[in-house]
Each structure stands twice: as structure tokens, then as C-alpha cells.
Structure 1
């Protein structure tokens, strides 16, 4: 079976064309059909340009042609800006000419409903039939800075003014993409490729991430995502980007219900659960930005050639105690380790600057301006004795003075030659010249100190993800004797039997049809025991009092049997009752919850959480798209705040996290194999026993897909 990536045609004709035809070209450079041609001429694009318009012999000083087929030479890319009813005919003309790529700027398709849906379906069918890669419709086009290719009508591209760099950006929204382009110019960030995908009748965000991942000129991939259209290709694209060492920063909208509805209506796409996207991004080492500033702060941080931090220890150097405290607060929010300086190091700092605050943040006070050599000395002590992996230094407005900035950089470089593996982030108001000087030296420079700290957190995250990717393992094999999922509702014992065949151990138990049988089974298992109603029609037994624990002898068991059958008859009179489940009373351990849900976009998704209030009150859970290996399961466990219970608290022994991770991986493999047959799985609770003792499923529910029978 071909991979999702290999089965799609290359986007190279879109970004590396030798000749471009503008279909619907206009002599008026302010119109949608005129602006791309004007941009391509003024930017210095080095290929051939062919205006296509049957009503003119010449457009913007270039010979015009009635159709693409009339162009004498080959055409690689067509930019289409004709009214919606004429787009398909234009693309058919392009296909006949052998054009490999097209950008449809025209609107009036699926986003408007009605006839527009049919027109867009026709474009999709043409792309599949001919292999032409089509961007849009209803998009703002694309840019290749290195080719000086401005295939867009957004005013943000006017005058070019783009700095070549290693950031490539894809946006589902054309307007947002244009806004981002303006921000990139305003910030002076280095841009490589830029594209907006619009309605995504063919080329989508996954295609663009795949292309960027394979592009040597791209180091950072920035994406604005409203909804995924193809799970397999998005996952494959993110996996490829991680494999190639590209850092991916995504803004995914639709976290709120209102936001999800707006995204779906805008793109005519189906949005998956936001928690699932969150899990997917963590699974593949993607940084999810929560604001536009953060999106570009992190992209900028990743585009500068700075060392990857080896750990989470953060040193803070400041000329203002108040700003130091502010940075420390943000560092705590980012889970960075603002460990104090060693006592001897604090003493040495005090000797250098008697009025300094030597703990961490290290406050140099305004004394720095009087003696610039203090900067190098402080940095030396922080890196050598503090052992910080990354240092953020707040220097107020020193960056506005070139001589001061040059002196500080020289001192810093002298120190960093001894510590080439340490990352440094500066915060100072700075002139453009100073900024370029520091960035050339691999030092990030931010105006605002808390944004500098968050950027440092992103560098730490990507470094951790890179190390984790190197240790990743494949999903385990599904056991040969694994049973298929049910085709109709089953009771919990049957569910646990199926899950046990897939590698998830259960507590020893038996089903008893009557009171005497229950007594015999309890005697065989050994007291104390638990009694539970056995019924495929009662999914949540505790809600009707259908579970009684701690039965110490036969008398208690018989009384409990009669109580349970009476409760079932009272609270669920229509339920089919198979008897009771007699289970050995489990030993002490940590209760966790494992689950599977069939997401409309991503298919089988696995959930993990700690039992009790952590799931119900705090929604303290982690998600991953199935399948995955044990290493990914460990990362999943590490994301849950309640994980401290697994490490042993109040004298309790540490839990068997190895067995828990293995169970999560096994569940993911089973769920992925049977995605179409499973609506959901709940293992609640899965008891994690002390280290070396394994796990036991105490209750389980498997809901087959509707109509699976």
C-alpha cells in the first residue's frame, strides 16, 4: 500500500515554475486579475509570464493570449482569476496544455453553497483525473521569496520587501495568511515559502507541510489550521517534518464550541475534537501557539541558529528586580526550572555587585551601566556554577546603543565559547542594526521580557521533542490470539476477555447465574470478593448501586446477591441480566482510566487519565491518535497532572508505570486495527499495582459501532 505522501503529486510546480500564465489577467493592477501579474513583473520573477485574456492583445506591456493552449511555449503554473462559472473550463484548458499546477484565486464555491459546491467538486475531480495540483479555490495564492515569485493578490505583498529566510508558512485562511505576511514584513523575519489553501479542493495544509518538510530551504514550518481534511496525510506530514528535524508551529482555531462552528462553516470541513488535536500535536512534537504574537515569537526563535537546550533549567539575569520577578512567574507557568544559584556562587556574585540579588533571577541592578565587565562575569558564574541550560537576560534599553551592545555581545561570545551548548535569549529595546548583530551571533532578541521567556520555553520543548523522537519505538504487535470486537452489546466480563486477548490484564472473575453459583465461585476465588450486576444493558452499574465490595464470607455474599438483583429489577427493569460478576477483591493500587473514542476526523483515539476527581472535575486527561508505542505512552502519562499519584505519595509505593505504558500501547494497537468496529472503549478503572506487579482492568465497556451486526 502506497504511503499517504507518496500517493500525492509534488508541489514543486507551484513553487518552482519556469513559466506562469495568469488566466483572467487585467490591465488594471488594482484588480484581482491584474495584481498578481503586476507583482510578478515588479518583484523580478525570473521566468516567463503569459497574460491570458481573449479581450486584449496586450496586458501590462506583455503579449496576451486568448487561452493557455495558445501560448507558444510550456507553462508550469496557472494563476486563475476568472468568475467562478468559468474556472473549470479554464482548468480544463490548462490540463490540455500540460500545466502541472494551478492557483485558483476566484471565490464563489463551496463556501457559498448551492451551485458553488458542484463547481468545486468538478475542480476536485479534474485534479484527481489529470494529476494537476490545484490550490484553492477561494484562496490568496502563494509566494516563493527565493524565486521572487508573488502569485497572490494580497496587498501585503505590494512592494515585495520580504527578507529571504528559513520560515515557510501555510494558512487555510487567505485573509489570515495576508495578515501574517504583513507581520512577517513588519518584524523583518526571514521568509522562504508562503501559501494559502482556501477551500482545499486538492492541495491542503498536509500537502504543504509535507512539501516544506522536504524543502532544504525551510527550517521552521508555520501553519494556521481550521480543520483537517485527511487524517492519514496530516499525521504522515507531521511525522515527516519531525523525521527531517523541521520545527512545526501551529495555530489551530476552534478550541471553543463557537470557534469550532465558525471554522467548519468557513472551510466546509469537519473539525475533530480540540483535545484530540492537542494530543496529536504533542504526539508529533508540534508547538501549538495560543496567540498570533506567540506564533511568530516561536517561529522567530526557531529560525535563529541557537543551540538546543539540554534541559529545563532556566537562569534569569536582569537589571530590574521587578522584571526579574515577572519573568520568574512566566517561567513557572511554562514549567521551567528556575533553580536558585548555589550558595558559593551567590556569595561570589555579591562580592562582584554588593547590591545585587544573587539567587535567580540574578539582579545586576543599574550598576551594569557603570561597569560593563560585570555582565561577562555574571554570565560566567551563572553558566559555570549555576549549570543553566538556557539564560534569559533583561537589559532594558541597552540595545538602543550600538557601542554598549557590541561590548556586551563580545563579552557574551567570550563566555559562550566555553559553553557552546547553552542557549541565550536577550530582552531589550534595540535598533535594527543591533538586532541583526545579535541574531547573526545566534542570540535571540525580544523587546518584551515575558515573550523572551516563552520563546525559551519553546526552544526547550523542541529540544525535548527531538530527543524523544530519537527514542521513539514502533507500536507493539497485536497478539495472534486477539479476539475481534463485539457486533452487539456485551457485559463487562466479555469485554475484559476481549481486552485480555489484546494484552490488557483483568482481575480474576467469574459470572454466576444464581446465588448458589455465586457462592461456589467466591469460594474458588477466595474471599474477600466483589459482586457486580452482569448486564450488557447496564453500562454504568455504580449509578444504580450495582456494585458491592468487600464481601468477607458466604453470608455477606448471598445477601449482596439478593440486594443486587432487587436493585436491577427496580432501577433497570428492561435490562437483560446474566447474573452477577464475582471478582476477587483487588489489592491496593492507583486507579486510572483508559479509553478509546472514534473521532470523526482522526479515527481511533486513546485517552488516559487518573481516576476520581482528576477526570470528572478537572478534565485531567491526555489523548493520542492510535496506534503508538510504549515511549509515546510514557509521554502521554507524563502530561497528566495527577501522575504524581503514580510516583508514590504518603508512604505508598511507586506504581507500575511500565505496565501502564504497555497497556496503553496495546490498547492503541487494538483500537487502530478495529477502528471501524468500535465506537468506544472504557476501562474504568484500570488498577495500576505497585512496581513490578502489573495492571488489572477492574471494569470495562466496549461499545460496537451502530449496525456492526
Structure 2
């Protein structure tokens, strides 16, 4: 393996991909003498790019393939291939995988399609393929896979036509290299081509296809541990093997490598298309979003944004306390940039007053706050550009800077002076993210980039990219999640009714309102007397989830006579509106007033496991959908951050003269609920605690209703 090539891995967490991504030799099963065919392109490209390892074409019909000796079968190969490309159809592919495994091959890349992406027969064939590979201890990429490349090694086991338009480029001095991980082969090579055209170095691309064995998480983990890559770009249609994916994102975060991901399938239509294309689970998009945010992944909305953020990451400067300073010859551009920064939460603090005074003395009609409008006056004395830029860095202390000079940046007479002034400041402050917004021909843009600047025509796009670098820095600086002590949990065999659900949750740390169960009218009277009037009375039934819809909730029950009347009414409503439901009695609870209603919940995501939810309670959660989600478990501090992130948080924080609610107590309950969900394991399907009645500060938060759903057995 060449020194410095992609493949020099630190750590061993994902090292089993090494023979696939950086092998010493490779066999191509189904190799073609035609360099334009699927089986011919890998051979052609590796010959052209000088792959130094063994390259062994297998073709029973030819003695030579593209000038190389060809072998009639796998058994005839001159040695044990570390990796192999399978480019033969149907049953021949299965036979090849089995023979390669028996020969001792450690990694196989399966181009062949017609598996789980097609039909049930394809699913069964894919399972056979995986079983063979695993039985031989062999990693398998695909099937239905375009392949990969590792450019520094000249290793191109891929059948794309992308290289007809150019090979991966080398990075500018001091710039980072980008690894691409993509479930889609065609879109992965589209990203490569777009990055190449923009001058972004992408030495490695790995496409995963159906992900029958090697997943996107495996690939991201490999790139996170690889010394030849500093930035990771990913395209995902659905995440498989959630724990592996999470481990990969954490490996990237710990390594200080930004991950920029396009995760498609946001819409119901998009999710369906993703399933039919790669036979993967799109999962709940909102959950995926919060998981990516947890690990500091930037989720790009489109290809342009992905490339912008990746490009801005190549200087490898990720300010933890990111602030933006703007110097401009256009007041309008400054306003545009300010709007974008405010929308993204990127701070633009003003320049210090004394610095403003000094700049105003230089150009009296300038606006030296931030954005700093130095006006077109600087054309008369370009040294003013240097003075303004230096003051912004040294007096303003901004970590990110945008200089908007539009077409002046391309002027044959003005651009050299502009460049010299800016370079003098930048040379003294190389630790800042410098961005120029100019309209210039490609050769002039390359000059600015070689000087160390990021160059954007659209300053709004620059703001998005710069804001992302600060979020990367914050993610890299965060300590890993601390573990929580989990409660002992014993779930019943059948779904519990409300009273039992509350007892289970109370034992886990989620306190209910004072209440008692009653199996008869007289027991209900005694319970109400002990609790104190007024009370709430509710049907107890494990079969009725929404009691209000069947007349199963009675409020403002003020005395014993009302208890008896409402008991009879509840029983009648149950018989009339839910005749098949099992009714075990009623629940009598203290009626609490002056509280804010909040909803807590747990849902089990198919990929990432239990997810905690908090939102405004009652009907608001369904109407406004103002909720915060996090992967379980969350500690009390993170739980409180979730609560404070709600748009409706002012209702808990004393809006319109209301007393402040006991947010601390609510956060403790949310954290406890999340720990309960983890401890309960896969037997738990969901929990709905709605409403939680949050009393004024210091008085607590109490579950007024609770539903626990168990997972279907088997």
C-alpha cells in the first residue's frame, strides 16, 4: 500500500473494510475486454491509473483481457485475492461469492442487480449471498452496487463513466480531502463529479447499493478512522443497523471530521421511492433529523448546499464560538447577509465603539458597525480595504469573515491591489475563516482559493456554509454523552390500564397525581373522600386508549352524590360506546387547577430505538405539533434543553403574568421516562403521558394520564 494513500487507518473499529478499500490485489470476475462494459471499466481504469497491486481478470472465454493475462476461473488465480469484483449475472454471482470465500478472499464487491430491490425472490437470493459471505468471514459490498474508488492507490473497482470527464483532483495546499459515502451509486458519482468540477479533492468514494452486508455506517466509520480523509460527505436513502451508524457518527465526531449528509425520503412519496430503490427502511424523518443533530452532522437540503458546506470545511477551521464579520462595498449585500445570519443563528455582534470611531475617521460616510459598509470610496485608496479588514479581525475578533466585493474582485486594475491588501491581513490571522463574495472568472477564483480564501458568488450561500463550520466546532468540543443509571423495569404480560401504567412509571421516577382505583361505587366514594374534592373520575380499561371519546372522563366531581351519579354514567357510557372493552372500575384522582398541560412520550424508532418527546399537552400537541425529540436516554440538563426549545415554552416561563412553571420537575420526569424506555427494551412499543400537569415553580409536575403500549410478541 502506498504511503499516505487512503487506507492508512488509525484504530480498529471499522478496519475490517481495509481489504475492500485498500487491497494488495483484486480479481475481477466477469472481466470484459471491452473497456466500456460493466465488467471492463474497472480493469481499464485500474490499468490507466497504475494500480500497483495484482490485477487478475477472470474470463473463461479469453486468454487476455485488455492486455492482461486472464484466468478461466477463480481456482486458477495465481494467489488468494484480498478483494474481488463480481460482475456476472444471477446464479453465477452466488457461485462466484461462494468460490471466492472458499479460496480465502476477504472482501467482495457485487455489481450484480436483481436482488432485494426487485421482489421477494430477490430478497431470498440476497439473503443466500450474505449467508455465504458471512460463513466465509468475508465482507460484502452491494449487491446492486456501482463500486468504489481509492484514487491515491490507483484502485478503481467501479463501473461509472464519470472518469470520461476527469479524474479526482488533488487538494490545494492546506485544504482537506473529502471522502464520499453513498447508498446510491449514480448519485454518489454525481456528487463526485460536481465536487471535482468545483476543485474539491475526493480521493475516495464508496457506494453501498442494497447494503446487504456492508452499510453506510460501516463506510462512514471507515472514513472517520482513515488518515487520508478529513471531511465526510454522505448520501442516504435509509439507515440500516442503527447502532453501527451511531458508532460511525461518534467516531467522526471524536476524530474532528465534519459529516455533511443528504438524507432523502423526507416525504411519504420520497420514503416509498427510497424503499423501492434500495430496499432500505427510510425511518421516521424527524427522528433521523434529531439523531444527526445530536452528532453534529450537517443535513444538507440539496447538492448545492452539501458541496458548499463541504467546500467551506476544507480549510479545517471549526470555530466553537463562531461570529461573523462582514465588510462590503454594498449596503444592500450587508443587509442580505445579516438576514441570512439571523435566520441561522450565526451571531453578528457590532464592532467596538472605539473601532467604529477610528473607521469613521478614515471614511466619514462609511457605516462601521457590522456589516461594515466601507463604500465605493475604497476604490480611490485600496489601502482602506486593508485597514477595515484588519480592524474587523483585530478589534472585532470575528472568527468568520465575508468580504463582499462583487465584480471588483475580477477587475484587472483593482483586483491585484485588493488581493495584496487582504493577503497582508490574512497572513497575520490564518486562524480565521476568510470568504470572498466576488464575481470572477475561474482562473481568478483559483488564485483567491490558492491564497486561502473561500469564494462564493452568492453571499447568502456563504453564510449557510460558514454557520455550519461553527456547529461542527461545537459538536467536536462536546463531551460524549454520559450514561444514565437505569431503573429496574418489569413490564406486565399484557397492556396495562391507566392506573397500572402510572404505578409502573411512578416506580421509574414519573410521579402521578394523587389517585386511587375503585372497583365499585362505594370504593369510588371512599377514594374521593380520602383524596379531597373536587376529583376527576375516569374509566379504567386497558382496551380504551382515548377515554374522552367514549365519555369515559368526568371532571369537577364536587361531592359524594356526584361521585355516585358519575360512576353510573361512566359504566353506562362504557357499555354503550365500547361494549367489547374490559372495564375494571374507575380511577379517582385529585383535580388540579392552575397547571400548564404538557405531554411526554416515548416512541420506538425502527432504526434508532426509543426516542423521547416533549410538547404542549392536550390537543395542542396534535394541532401545533410543537415538540422536541431526542434519542433515549437524556439526562436532566438535556431534558430541560428540550423543554426550553419548544416554541410554546413562554407558557411555562411566566408569559402574560402567569407564574413560572416547575420546569425542573418536568425535566426530571422526562429524563426518568427516557431511562425507563431504555431499561424496558424492545418489549416496550410506546408511552404516552398526556397531560403532565406542571404546577408553579417548586410545586412539582404530575402525570394525569398515561398509556403504555407493549410490542407485539414474536
- State TM-score, norm by structure 1: 0.90
Unaligned stretches of 5+ in structure 2?
A: 1-10, 172-176
Please show how residues 119-518 of structure 1 align to structure 2 within 5 Å: 119-158=125-164, 160-165=166-171, 166-311=177-322, 313-341=323-351, 346-383=356-393, 386=396, 388-401=398-411, 407-408=417-418, 411-412=421-422, 415=425, 422-432=432-442, 434-436=444-446, 438-439=448-449, 442-467=452-477, 469-470=478-479, 472-479=480-487, 482-518=488-524
Count of equivalent residues? 699
Contact conserved, 2:408 with 2:438, CA < 8 A, in 1?
yes
8 Å contact kept, 1:22–1:52: yes
Kindly indicate whether the alpha-carbon contact (under 8 Å) linking 2:318 and 2:470 is maintained by their aligned counterparts in 1.
no
| Equivalent pair of 1:17/1:76 in contact (CA under 8 Å) | yes
Deviation (angstroms), 1:150: 1.7
Q: Residues 125-169 of structure 1, C-alpha deviation per residue, up to 9 Å, x if partnerless?
A: 111111111211221111112212222111112365312452111
1:184 deviation in Å? 1.5
SS at match of 1:378: helix
Q: Are the equivalent residues in 1 in contact too, given 2:14–2:225 (CA < 8 A)? A: no
Give secondary structure in 2 for the equivalent of 1:489. coil
Determine if contact 1:474/1:628 at 8 Å carries over to the other structure: no
Q: How many angstroms does 1:539 deviate by?
A: 1.4
Quick one: structure 1 residues 557 and 388, their matched pair in 2 at CA, closer, same or farther if it must change by over 3 Å?
farther
The aligned counterpart of 1:17 is 23
Shift in Å, 1:342: 5.6
The whole-number CA distance in structure 2 between the counterparts of 1:630 and 1:431 is 54
Match of 2:538 among 527, 532, 540: 532
Distance change (3 Å), C-alpha of 1:698 and 1:55: same
Residues 611-650 of structure 1 mapped to structure 2, 5 A cutoff:
611-612=617-618, 614-650=620-656
* 5+ residue gaps, structure 1: none
Change (3 A) 1:637 1:40: farther
CA-to-aligned-CA distance 1:42-81 (integer Å, 9 cap, x gap): 1122222222112111221111111233222342221222
- Greater shift, 324-333 or 109-118, is seen at 109-118
Deviations 1:512-563 (A, max 9, x none): 3344433433333334433333332321223345434455555655555555
Residue aligned with 1:17, SS:
coil
Query: What is the aligned counterpart of 2:102 among 90, 96, 100?
Result: 96
SS across alignment from 1:55? coil
The alpha carbon displacement at 1:268 in A equals 1.6
Contact 1:124 1:201 in 2 (8 A): yes
- How far apart are residue 419 of structure 1 and its match? 6.4
Classify 1:599/1:368 alpha carbon distance in 2 versus 1 (closer, same or farther; 3 Å): same
Moved more, 89-98 or 550-559: 550-559
Return the match for 2:590 from 564, 568, 584: 584
Aligned residue in 1 for 2:7: none
Q: Is the 8 A contact 1:331 1:337 kept in 2?
A: yes
Deviations 1:439-479 (CA, angstroms, capped at 9, x unpaired)? 45654222221110110221122222223x32x44232123
Instruction: Please identify, of 214-223 and 458-467, the stretch whose mean Cα deviation from structure 2 is larger.
Output: 458-467
Secondary structure of the corresponding residue to residue 338 of structure 2: helix
Deviation at 1:333, TM superposition (A): 2.7
Separation of aligned partners in 1, 2:557 and 2:383 = 75
CA deviations 1:205-246 (Å, max 9, x no partner) are: 111011111112222111111112212211222222222222
Task: Mark the CA change 1:258 to 1:388 in structure 2 (over 3 Å): closer, same or farther.
Answer: same
CA distance in 2, matches of 1:420, 1:652: 51
- Give me the whole-angstrom Cα distance separating, in 1, the residues matched to 2:138 and 2:516: 61
